[in-house]
Amino acid sequence: MMRSEELHAQQIAAWSGDRGAAFLAHQEQLDRALEPVASAAIALAAPRTGESVLDVGCGCGATTLMLADAVGSVGHVTGLDVSAAMLSRARERAIGISHIEWVLADAASHEFTTGSHDLLFSRFGVMFFGDPVAAFTNLRRGLRPGCRLVFACWRGLDENPWVRVPFQAVLDHVPPQPRPGPDDPGPNSFADRDRVTRILTAAGFAAPQFTPLAVSIDLADGDGLEAAARQAVELGPTRGALEGQPEAVRAIATEAVGEALWPHLVGGTVVLPGAVWLVSSK
């Protein structure tokens, strides 16, 4: 079994490299697909004019820009990520906005200024820590007394057909996939409310509240079945299952994904359900 340090290093390498590049390539489409999650999470966080906000795993900056609009020019938002490429895109999108700061760093070990933020926020950026208790303990050092924590995380794979359907479609064409351990980092690693509660309380936060959020994800972004299959094999666990496979295998698997998604095709859309937790604490 890998140690937490090794697991964490793997996540940093992936998001700094190919995984981050894949998300960058689909940035506009992902921003549109995930906008309902961003809006719901920010509404729950209720950032106020003049507040200081830390956006963890900010990626290409969509949520950072929304938070900056909410706190106004008298506030301040720090967007933090490990991907230099995604932060470069974020900086391009924020030209002329002076109250945003972009930080290329690992949130688990970055030396935050003590008591500098009113709100810790993340949309899908906190499920990848090798040692989440240590990471949240470190993040808490940068928060003021009475501060708020709000993040969005995916629920289980069974509750997210938009990921499960294409992933299962490729399994007959690739070697057996290892099952992640219960404490391994990954997109669905915060699906268990008890585990998240243990992590946050051990890091010094109050017992969190969990608000379920149902969303509809258009894998095609209105561009039809081929676009949906292409996105599905380029992102998430389906991408991981195909990593390193010969082009012939990838072609067959992509065709299988298209067949699995075809029943969900309506016009130019391929819409499947998604399930999210909005987690809040202090």
The whole-chain average pLDDT of the chain stands at: 96
Give the model's pLDDT for residue 180.
85
Give the model's pLDDT for residue 59.
97
The answer to whether residue 268 scores a pLDDT higher than 90 is yes
- Does a structural domain hold residue 261? no
Dihedral (Cα; 273, 159, 123, 146), 10-degree rounding? 130
- Does a structural domain hold residue 75? yes
- Does a structural domain hold residue 67? yes
Give the model's pLDDT for residue 80.
98
- DSSP secondary structure string for all residues of 70-106: HH-TTSEEEEEES-HHHHHHHHHHTTT-TTEEEEES-
Q: Using a pLDDT cut of 70, give the percent of the chain over it.
A: 99
- 143-156: pLDDT as tens digits: 999 899 999 999 99
Please give the C-alpha separations between residue 46 and each of 19, 42, 97, 214, in angstroms, as whole numbers. 31, 6, 21, 20
- Does a structural domain hold residue 135? yes
Mean pLDDT within 195-213: 98
Give the pLDDT band of residue 179 (cuts 50, 70, 90). confident
- Does a structural domain hold residue 88? yes
Give the pLDDT band of residue 168 (cuts 50, 70, 90). very high
- Does a structural domain hold residue 173? no
Give the pLDDT band of residue 92 (cuts 50, 70, 90). very high
The answer to whether residue 48 scores a pLDDT higher than 60 is yes
Domain count along the chain: 1
The answer to whether residue 68 scores a pLDDT higher than 80 is yes
Name which of 185, 77, 183, 71 is nearest 122 in CA terms.
77
Give the model's pLDDT for residue 95.
97
- Does a structural domain hold residue 198? yes
Considering only 8-17, 35-44, 87-96, 201-210, which range has the smallest mean pLDDT? 8-17
Mean pLDDT within 84-109: 97
| Sequence-distant contacts of 24-27: CB under 8 A, at least 24 apart | 24/60, 24/83, 24/85, 24/86, 24/89, 25/234, 26/231, 26/234, 26/235, 27/59, 27/60, 27/86, 27/89
Give the model's pLDDT for residue 178.
86
The answer to whether residue 1 scores a pLDDT higher than 70 is no
User: Which CATH number is 10's domain given?
Assistant: 3.40.50.150
The answer to whether residue 230 scores a pLDDT higher than 80 is yes
Q: Which residue range(s) make up the domain with 208?
A: 4-158+181-217+276-281
| Model pTM above 0.85 | yes
- Does a structural domain hold residue 243? no
